[in-house]
Amino acid sequence: MSDNLSNALNQNWEDKNILVVEDVDTNKIFFDAALRRTKAKILWAKDGQEAIDMFKENHIDLVLMDLQLPVMDGYTATREIKKINPDVPIIAQTAHVMSGEREKCLEAGCNDYLAKPIRLQILIDTLSKYLNA
């Protein structure tokens, strides 16, 4: 493991709550493993509507939002969450890396964008920008 990755994984976010909105089990396993060492509290939602409901019921420091979701897509959920709290960082994560996708995410209110497959170093570095600010 590189020193950079090792240092990145040594984040201590035990006072942070991260809402991960993801409907694919293998991606959930990745996020769970990637974030375990940070000690952050991870809350899970499987669709956009559940994400909004969980956001209303919990103090959330950051949202990792899949965009292709059942019930309500991530774009709509992002807009609704930003109406509740415009300051919460929302990081889009999607396998769709078509031209214009990043702009579409930012227009919906996302603060940042991660393309799948997500590399661990990039995930931790991106979260650090917002959780360590």
Q: What's the structural domain count of the chain?
A: 1
Full-model pTM: 0.91
CA-nearest of 14, 91, 11 to 51 is 91
User: Residue 31 is part of a domain; what is its CATH number?
Assistant: 3.40.50.2300
Q: Which domain holds residue 65?
A: 1-132
Determine how many CB atoms are found less than 10 A away from the CB of residue 65. 30
**Full pLDDT tens readout for the chain, 133 residues:** 445 555 556 789 999 999 999 998 888 889 999 898 899 999 999 999 999 999 999 999 999 999 888 899 999 999 999 999 999 999 999 876 666 777 888 899 999 999 888 888 899 999 999 999 7
How buried is residue 33: exposed, middle or buried, by Cβ count under 10 Å (0-12/13-18/19+)? Answer: exposed
